[in-house]
Amino acid sequence: MQAEFWFDSWERGGFYTSFHRRDIHPFVERHTPAERFAGAHVLVPLCGKTNDMLYYRQFARHVTGVELVEKAILQFFTDNSLDFVQKGNRFEGERITLLCADFLSLEAEDVGQVDLVYDRASLVAMPLEMRLNYLRTLDRLTPVGAQQLLNTLEYDPVLPSAPFSIAPEEVVAYYADGYDVSHVEATVVPQHGMVRRWGLRFLMEHGFMLTKRRNLRPELLEPRLHEALAQMVLARNRRLPELVETAGLWPRGCDGASPRVA
């Protein structure tokens, strides 16, 4: 996927940036509460202009968002009436910095010590051939002990463009070598815009809390990518008849996430 795709999406707006939510995502408040993460440094990859950063800014030591498209960064500050100072590719406001950069090119010194990663629409934005680099980047930017709230979508039929469908089995295959993975949310979203636009048979939104216990072993990353894809396809084929028949009701997740209906 080329950078021009994202520049074009933000230029067009509307459906092309429908991944942007005006409200705070409910997973954020449920799984990264202020009392637990007060004083944390929060990293938000591919942040766009997400208002979830406003939630974290209330209690975090600092929020660092990374976004390729400057237009999205400027809209974030303008839409929320926040003052900022631009220093090169850094847009700095009170307790928040947005970097206009390719996330995959960053090093640890670019973002500083990270306590929490919030990934709502980053992994699902990566085509399969880019996910290896995305995982490597996240791994080098975060220390052992860092936590991550990861949201993914799973839907059928699978579409060939972002946001990509990523099943829970795929998430486990990507991260289990170096992270403790808890599947904390599994929500049926029958009114999601993608369901209406593309005639999807079902769409699920999954939430995971990850805790890093060691760096991912480089020699396992690429094999795990292929293993993950195979598991995803097998799992979907196994469950699809039941999913369609029950109009999207979902079995329990990796460690007991109960299905919800949005």
Strand-by-strand arrangement of the 41-44 sheet: 85-87, 90-93, 96-100, 62-67, 41-44, 116-119, 147-156, 202-212, 179-188, 259-261
Q: What are the sequence ranges of the domains in the chain?
A: 26-261
pTM, rounded to two decimals? 0.86
Helix (H, G, I), strand (E, B) or coil at 238: helix
Q: Which helix (H) or strand (E) holds 179?
A: strand 179-188
CATH code, 26-261: 3.40.50.150
Question: Distance between CA atoms of 98 and 67, rounded to whole angstroms?
Answer: 7
Q: DSSP states of 90-121 as a string? A: EEEETTEEEEES-GGG--HHHH---SEEEESS
Say which residues have a Cβ less than 8 Å from residue 170's Cβ, sequence separation at least 6.
Answer: 228, 229, 231, 232
pLDDT tens for the chain, residues 1 to 262: 566 665 566 556 544 455 546 789 999 999 999 999 999 999 999 999 999 999 999 999 999 999 999 999 999 999 999 999 999 999 999 999 999 999 999 999 999 999 999 999 899 999 888 898 999 999 999 999 999 999 999 998 888 888 899 989 889 989 999 999 999 999 998 888 888 888 998 899 999 999 999 999 988 888 877 777 777 766 766 665 555 444 333 333 444 455 555 5
Please give the structure tokens belonging to residue 138.
């996240």
45, 64 contact by CB (below 8 A): no
Q: Which helix (H) or strand (E) holds 17?
A: none
